[in-house]
Structure 1
Amino acid sequence: MFSRSSLLLAASLGLGLAGAARGAEPFEAFLDTHCVRCHGPDKEKGDLRIDRLSRDFTKGADTHHWAEVVEQVNSGEMPPKKEKRPSQAEIAAFVTSLDARLKEGRAARMATRPPVTHYRLSRKEYQNTVYDLLGVRYDPAKPGELNEDALWHGFERIGSQLSLSPSHVDRYYRAAELVLDRAFPTTSVTARKVRKTAVDLRYGTGKDQQAALDRFGIKRPLRYLLFPGRTETALSPNWLGKTGPEHSGLYKFRIQASGIRPPGGQPAHLSIGKRTGEETVDGLIEFDLTAPEEKPQVYEFEVFLEMPTSLDFCVVATNGVDRRKGAAFRNALSSSQYLFTHSSETLLLNPNAPQMFDDKGNGLFSTVLLDWIEWEGPLVTDAEKSRRDGLLPPDDASLEVVAEHLQRFAERAWRRPAKPEELATYLKAYRTERDAGEKTADAYRIAMQGVLTSRHFIYLVEGDPTARARLTDWELASRLSYFIWSSTPDDRLFSAAKGGTLSGDGLKKEVSRLLTDERANRFIDDFTRQWLQLHRLGMFPPDKKLYPNYDPWLEESMRGEVIEYFREMFSKNLPLDGFIESDWTMANPRLCDFYGLPEPKSGGFQRVALKPEHRRGGLLTMGAVLGLTSDGTRHRPVHRGVWVSEAIFGKTPPPPPANVSAIEPNPPESPKATLRQKIEAHRSDVNCAACHAKIDPLGLAWDNYDAVGQWRTREKVEKGIGEDPLIDPSGVLPDGRSFADPVQFKRLLIENRDQIARAFIEHLCTYALRRVLTVDDREDINAIAATAKKNNYGVQDIVRAVAESELMRKR
């Protein structure tokens, strides 16, 4: 006799009794015995109906679900321990059978793929590409430029997400016109250099002030004291000349400055950027000043300015919790009667003004001391000029010469050989402009604009009308360069593609060159930001009343810590374990102050040693990660658990049911309860328990860290009866292993290094291939993981293994 569930299964597949008889085979019998009861018509745990999954593996509609079934059964997680357990022989037979079905369907699925695949460039890739192609700096994120990229789990380069609308097309045409205007300007621009001293900026001619210094016998020069909250509009004439920067371009700024830091206070900080409020600035340049006032330091940096712009190029001294406000403070110190040379010169300090120093000369607030500022620009580097050499044809060029120039340009822009017939439309546009009386260069720019707005430039195009399984060397060159450089291949990579040497030792040689080139920093910046979903940091600004020490510079420093940490791991080829636990981090003075670490010797990021009492180490205890999984007022253990599941284990939990109620604040008349206690009550719902059992331990382990990542032992509960409750960070993983605190939890994670490495490889491949991985990629992922394991999972070795893998050659 057939069981009821077997008959239902047969009916759902459109089978009669013959189909039910087939259900008696080992594969279906295993599902009927061990799976359908909880994932069938009577129950639907995890929103999965095994009886409704398609058995047609050639179409692949449910292959991702079947792959999950293989993994769950293979790992022993399913069937659950409380259910009847199959024997090892039964498990092996089932897994072998299901794996064979997936493999048999793969060839059919691969054969039905579209012959040509298009992957649109992200905004960042477009920016890098026009720079490497034409030496032009262009900001596609500026308002009015290219549309924002759609995200898929943090990744901004997934082809299926990057559509092309009429709005996109219009903006691409404007962008191409702007880029060509900057590459080949009609009028020459001469760089200017302006230098202003503290006397120029603060004291006018300084004659009266110098006379006062002479009377007091003070030999030190006058300095500009920038007190906390002081904002100067640096584009004003007294700061950067009569007109300031006039043309879009690269500008170099040099500042000699130092800082005064109160005992136990934050380091002085300088922010230069766009004013967003009375005392806030969206910083283009941010840095801490650790140089003491006796030994000022020269700080040099470059910034690209878009002109015309309403940009207020500002210099701001901020001090976090110590920031002072008030008209009296601002007016007194802005007065020309307030002189300053050094904190020890007490004779100069106006006793009636708000005090900046105590009776021992110690600063009461973090203060910036400015000696001089210098800017130069717009600048064009020799490397940028070289990219444009020879691109324009001579004024008297024949049509044949113009065609040759256009073909060379199109091949570089399209990243492959260009056929003459593909360029016919653009040459026709050139002839039309010439016939209308335009100069050769102006007419040729019309043709170039056509090349830059072609789908062959905007998209990475893989394939041709004849379906094939592997990339050409030209396509592989582009895939490699956009993986590691986020940009177009250079001449050497083009030459390798043209010569057919992108295989074997030739491929290894090129990958090594790409990884050691400075452009690999783009991969570090972009992949880290996307993999760890750093765009979420700051989405819910922390409540200033609850977290008064949190400010924009701290947030930017937190983001920088993650990226600089990855850079150190990558450049030193450190083992993957360091992502989970380490005895060091990368920190600047602001982060050291926040974490309670020894301050680095300079104002930038440096490697800083950690001790157990610092309670840091690895990605999971960084302020950025803990902050992006919070809501601005409180930590969110479930969100932290989901983030760990996605970023570290590569598993995206199913979304919660639509009717699940939110966790409410603590009632005033009830005993104070932790979020953990409220979540445990929430888990009593049978519809929530299964998923939360997997998610919650991954998030509750970090309950000692508040919404901005600071350590605490008690959870702050605003309302309720009694004292704030003690935090319990213990938990039990789904496999039964228990932990008492974050330190033990991280040790358990490291025991799963193979699983973590595989997830990291999958994230890398998603980024490199620009698509969501499928069950068909499983064997290639296994091969990459095996190669990486031989090298002890060194981070750069893992990236190298992905770049040299067979998967990278497949369409």
Structure 2
Amino acid sequence: MLLLKCPRPFIPARRFLPHYQLTIATLHLQCFTRSCLLLVASMGVPSALRAEEPLEAFLTKHCISCHSAEQETSELRIDRLSRDFRSDLDTHNWAEVIERINSGEMPPEGEPRPTQEEIAAIVTQLDALLKEGRAARMAARPAVAHYRLSRKEYQNTVYDLLGVRYDPAKPGELNEDTLWHGFERIGSELSLSPSHVDRYYSAAETVLARAFPTTATVEARKVRKTAAELYYGGGKRQQEVLDHFGIERSLRKLIFPGTVQGALSGNWLGKTGPEHSGLYKLRFKASGSRPPGGQSAHLSIGTRTGPETVDGLIEFDITAPEDSPQVYEAELLLEMPATLHFCVVATDLVDGRSGGAFRNVLGSGRGYIFTHSSETLLLNPNAPQMFDDKGNGIFSTVLLDWVEWEGPLLTAAEKSRRNGLVPPDNATPEVVAEHLQRFAERAWRRPVKTEELTDYLESFRVECEAGEKTADAYRLAMLNVLTSRNFIYIVEGEPDVREHLTDWELASRLSYFLWSSMPDDRLFATAKGGNLNGEGLEKEVDRMLVDSRINAFIDDFSRQWLQLHRVGMFPPDKKLYPRYDEWLETSMRTEPVEFFREMLVKNLPIDGFLDSDWTIANARLCDFYGLPEPTTGGFQRVSLKPAAHRGGLLTMGAVLGLTSDGTRHRPVHRGVWVSETIFNKTPPAPPANVEPIEPIPPEGDKITIRQRLAAHAQNTSCAACHRNIDPLGFAFEQYNAIGEWRTRERVEGGKGEDPLVDASGVLPAGREFGDVSHFKQLLVKDRDKFSRAFIEHLSTYALRRVLTVDDSDDIQSIFEEAKKNQYGVRDIVRAVALSDLVRKR
């Protein structure tokens, strides 16, 4: 039986945690009710509420002796578990009991095992009791649920509503979202404090000011600066030198590691001011030089932070060769006036010299003239050598031809979202009310009754009587709409008891699931016509999955599911890991997102997340992994051979790095990540006052972290958890803290040679593996478990709440649909979107 002598604390798997999505008033009432029920449970459950006698007999025979006040080997007190299955007090614990019984994990060796007939009977009875309680709870669910928009969702929504680009993550804007296991959209975590309210008002004012500026709209301008204009003062003197030598090449600028060169000054685009803030397009023509076998030049563009550094806003690997320069481009949201700089990032400087060694000689236009690495006569003979005799760079350098900026950009689609929103100056009250009603219906994502806008229209009237212009008074009414709970929150439900969402509510749930934004006009129209069901629902979901806005889902879900916010949380020690730099970190963080994009767009089988013979990488990652460099810049699909020791998510640098600290890898953290992300099971927290892993004394022999963990896990309060977690982390012992492949573990302190690593292990079910490749093969064989966990992660993201035992039947239905479709990733997402689970309140 499951819980006979389990020495570890009994904490349920994450997917069975209870659900508390309630309004404040309901929450207070429910908390009071639960407190009363807990008190009743602690006093003993009345016989009228107790389960039938067979359950009690089984528990008494097999469980109570180890899980009661007399036995301290487990935190679970079965004698105190509520037998009132309608209360939802302990349903998650009972669900975990069923799962553990079916898995055959318990009892421990040496204890008598219940017969198969006994197990079948108890599982059947518990399942029936849970279903009865579930039906009762579903009938009594709270009438209204509120889910606050995350910052990213707010950003996307104001853009789709008004065509305004607004960055809520900037300092001083909206508060950072609270995370729950990486997810930033869990309703119970996104509270609303007074500081939130102030910032929402400020954000709405900023958005409306940009949508309806009080000054004349600034026309977009395009400015191009050549290298001669930027860095040679126009290049007149330098051109005379070129003419003297008969050189017809254009002047170029060398941007070498450690130099910071201007990329944009606000005055390039005329008069500057807040009204010029917006979207700008950057283009520049450049090529790169580098040592044979060295890194490609990397160009960072951002605000200057020091003599040799910038805070990068955008990054480029400059892979184009000197004789075939390439035009690179990107879009940036800028607050004017803005001053940006170019900075080359490289880790292959000659003899460890920094850019300061070259800056004094090459930092001024008088110091040198550069057009091509072959024109050595033009270089200052007193300058350090930049190229070898074959034109190869001594270190990675960018060769810049010109830079061009265009903006602020306002597309026709963005303009169209604002057309007709503001009533004319002579509009009657009825016309104003019609305009505001149309705006509120789009902003609140549902039909709006006229009486709901009474206060808003009254504020408009008062402002007009006080002498304000119609447009200014109306903007106050719009401000009130944008600071209403109906905009800031996704509101699901009304004061009536019903099982499913309305078409309007379902439209919002789908759009924030698949687009991280509000519904578009077509989805609104489908909801308005009452056609968001059956074939109509399938058509809309299929359309949404191929719309460009699905990229928001790809970026947001993959980042949250994989907990990529932890990448770089503990910056690696540069002395221990000299190959690690900010661009490598950014590239690592991008790889799993781009990998997920490829899996979804091409509807590849879910197995690829566990193991694959390809990845999506850029030049920086290819250099780090030892792979052939992509033929063009940016991320692209790269084939993998076994010797690369990569494939799937688990051996990506981001995953291996986020589960480490700045000095060493952490097998336990890696095991916990696999347990949570791959199997959706959160291990219990370690017991209090557990002794840390003992350091190696100076006179001791060098041993691996794994060997030191083995001694630590002898502690009886630690052994059970480590037995389940550690093998999931030991599989990756051949990767160091930043994900580099190794055969020996670098050990600080102690005597002797650094020890060989051991990546073998035994899974809890007894299956052995020899290395990470074998480990991944075992995971692929457990595809059903991973697929179900992946569906649970998707459903948590879609529903914006923690799953409960009440959702298990719906999860099983989605799983069966996914299995029918061979576990294609897009098919799984589609199955979740079309499921009854997503349509339920």
Instruction: Determine the C-alpha separation between the residues in 2 that align with 1:788 and 1:73.
Output: 26
User: Which residue of 1 is the match for residue 166 of structure 2?
Assistant: 138
Give matches, 1:519-530, under 5 Å: 519-530=549-560
1:531-574 alpha-carbon deviations (Å, 9 max, x no partner) = 00000001100100011111111011011101000000000000
1:317 aligns with 2:376: no
Note the C-alpha offset of 1:191. Answer: 1.6
1:149 aligns with 2:183: no
Structure 2: which amino acid aligns with 1:230? Answer: T
**Alignment partner of 2:520 out of 460, 484, 490:** 490
Higher relative contact order (CA 8 A, sep 6+): 2
1:193-244 alpha-carbon deviations (Å, 9 max, x no partner) = 1110010111112121112122223222110000111112334479777869
1:330 aligns with 2:394: no
User: Which residue of 2 is the match for residue 446 of structure 1?
Assistant: 476
Helix, strand or coil for the counterpart of 1:163?
coil
For the 8 Å contact 1:34–1:79, the answer to whether it is kept is no
User: Which residue of 2 is the match for residue 617 of structure 1?
Assistant: 647
How many percent of aligned residue pairs carry the same amino acid? 72
User: Which residue of 1 is the match for residue 726 of structure 2?
Assistant: 696
For the 8 Å contact 1:272–1:286, the answer to whether it is kept is yes
User: Which residue of 2 is the match for residue 251 of structure 1?
Assistant: 280
User: Which residue of 2 is the match for residue 426 of structure 1?
Assistant: 456
User: Which residue of 1 is the match for residue 793 of structure 2?
Assistant: 763
Instruction: Determine the C-alpha separation between the residues in 2 that align with 1:245 and 1:411.
Output: 30
User: Which residue of 2 is the match for residue 289 of structure 1?
Assistant: 318
Instruction: Determine the C-alpha separation between the residues in 2 that align with 1:42 and 1:673.
Output: 41
Structure 1: which amino acid aligns with 2:318? Answer: L
User: Which residue of 2 is the match for residue 197 of structure 1?
Assistant: 226
User: Which residue of 1 is the match for residue 619 of structure 2?
Assistant: 589
Instruction: Determine the C-alpha separation between the residues in 2 that align with 1:40 and 1:233.
Output: 71
1:674 aligns with 2:707: no
Give matches, 1:704-783, under 5 Å: 704-783=734-813
1:626 aligns with 2:653: no
Note the C-alpha offset of 1:410. Answer: 0.4
Helix, strand or coil for the counterpart of 2:417?
helix
For the 8 Å contact 2:567–2:658, the answer to whether it is kept is yes
Note the C-alpha offset of 1:321. Answer: 4.0
Helix, strand or coil for the counterpart of 2:679?
coil
**Alignment partner of 2:147 out of 111, 119, 123:** 119
Equivalenced residues, count? 800
Structure 2: which amino acid aligns with 1:319? Answer: A
1:547 aligns with 2:574: no
Q: TM-score, normalised by structure 2?
A: 0.93
Instruction: Determine the C-alpha separation between the residues in 2 that align with 1:802 and 1:405.
Output: 37
Note the C-alpha offset of 1:327. Answer: 3.7
Note the C-alpha offset of 1:634. Answer: 0.3
Instruction: Determine the C-alpha separation between the residues in 2 that align with 1:86 and 1:328.
Output: 77
User: Which residue of 1 is the match for residue 84 of structure 2?
Assistant: 56
Q: Are residues 701 and 37 of structure 1, via their aligned partners in 2, closer, same or farther at CA, if it must alter by over 3 Å?
A: farther
For the 8 Å contact 1:201–1:239, the answer to whether it is kept is no
For the 8 Å contact 1:229–1:316, the answer to whether it is kept is yes
Query: RMSD of aligned C-alpha atoms?
Result: 2.0
Note the C-alpha offset of 1:39. Answer: 2.8
Instruction: Determine the C-alpha separation between the residues in 1 that align with 2:259 and 2:48.
Output: 80
Instruction: Determine the C-alpha separation between the residues in 1 that align with 2:838 and 2:488.
Output: 21
For the 8 Å contact 2:266–2:339, the answer to whether it is kept is no
Note the C-alpha offset of 1:82. Answer: 3.9
Q: Which runs of 5+ in 1 are unaligned?
A: 6-10
For the 8 Å contact 1:672–1:723, the answer to whether it is kept is yes
Q: Are residues 211 and 237 of structure 1, via their aligned partners in 2, closer, same or farther at CA, if it must alter by over 3 Å?
A: farther
1:65-116 alpha-carbon deviations (Å, 9 max, x no partner) = 1111110101111223442212211111111111111111112222332211
For the 8 Å contact 2:610–2:648, the answer to whether it is kept is yes
Which deviates more from structure 2 when the two are superposed, residues 104-113 or residues 712-721? 104-113
User: Which residue of 2 is the match for residue 233 of structure 1?
Assistant: 262
User: Which residue of 2 is the match for residue 8 of structure 1?
Assistant: none
Instruction: Determine the C-alpha separation between the residues in 1 that align with 2:222 and 2:430.
Output: 44
Note the C-alpha offset of 1:792. Answer: 0.7
Structure 1: which amino acid aligns with 2:774? Answer: Q
Q: Are residues 186 and 489 of structure 1, via their aligned partners in 2, closer, same or farther at CA, if it must alter by over 3 Å?
A: same
Instruction: Determine the C-alpha separation between the residues in 1 that align with 2:269 and 2:231.
Output: 13
Q: Are residues 693 and 361 of structure 1, via their aligned partners in 2, closer, same or farther at CA, if it must alter by over 3 Å?
A: same
**Alignment partner of 2:192 out of 164, 168, 177:** 164
Q: Are residues 558 and 121 of structure 1, via their aligned partners in 2, closer, same or farther at CA, if it must alter by over 3 Å?
A: same
For the 8 Å contact 1:46–1:654, the answer to whether it is kept is no
**Alignment partner of 2:497 out of 467, 471, 476:** 467
For the 8 Å contact 1:235–1:244, the answer to whether it is kept is no
For the 8 Å contact 1:260–1:293, the answer to whether it is kept is yes
Q: TM-score, normalised by structure 1?
A: 0.96
For the 8 Å contact 2:348–2:395, the answer to whether it is kept is no
1:97 aligns with 2:125: yes
Structure 1: which amino acid aligns with 2:128? Answer: A
Structure 2: which amino acid aligns with 1:226? Answer: I
Helix, strand or coil for the counterpart of 1:620?
coil
User: Which residue of 1 is the match for residue 29 of structure 2?
Assistant: none
Note the C-alpha offset of 1:46. Answer: 5.0
**Alignment partner of 1:40 out of 64, 68, 88:** 68
For the 8 Å contact 1:579–1:619, the answer to whether it is kept is yes
**Alignment partner of 1:638 out of 665, 668, 682:** 668
Instruction: Determine the C-alpha separation between the residues in 1 that align with 2:793 and 2:315.
Output: 31
Q: Are residues 51 and 75 of structure 1, via their aligned partners in 2, closer, same or farther at CA, if it must alter by over 3 Å?
A: same
For the 8 Å contact 2:274–2:335, the answer to whether it is kept is no
Which deviates more from structure 2 when the two are superposed, residues 313-322 or residues 641-650? 313-322
Structure 2: which amino acid aligns with 1:249? Answer: G
Instruction: Determine the C-alpha separation between the residues in 1 that align with 2:274 and 2:632.
Output: 30
For the 8 Å contact 1:575–1:795, the answer to whether it is kept is yes
Q: Are residues 696 and 113 of structure 1, via their aligned partners in 2, closer, same or farther at CA, if it must alter by over 3 Å?
A: same
1:45-75 alpha-carbon deviations (Å, 9 max, x no partner) = 4532222211111111111111111101011
Structure 1: which amino acid aligns with 2:590? Answer: G
Note the C-alpha offset of 1:502. Answer: 0.8
Q: Which runs of 5+ in 2 are unaligned?
A: 6-39
Instruction: Determine the C-alpha separation between the residues in 2 that align with 1:262 and 1:83.
Output: 67
Instruction: Determine the C-alpha separation between the residues in 1 that align with 2:185 and 2:837.
Output: 18
Note the C-alpha offset of 1:19. Answer: 6.3
Instruction: Determine the C-alpha separation between the residues in 2 that align with 1:160 and 1:712.
Output: 43
Q: Are residues 283 and 45 of structure 1, via their aligned partners in 2, closer, same or farther at CA, if it must alter by over 3 Å?
A: farther
Note the C-alpha offset of 1:34. Answer: 2.9
1:184 aligns with 2:184: no
User: Which residue of 1 is the match for residue 27 of structure 2?
Assistant: none
Structure 1: which amino acid aligns with 2:235? Answer: G
User: Which residue of 1 is the match for residue 23 of structure 2?
Assistant: none
Instruction: Determine the C-alpha separation between the residues in 2 that align with 1:586 and 1:390.
Output: 44
1:3-59 alpha-carbon deviations (Å, 9 max, x no partner) = xx9xxxxx986459x969989933223223333333333334453222221111111
User: Which residue of 2 is the match for residue 353 of structure 1?
Assistant: 383
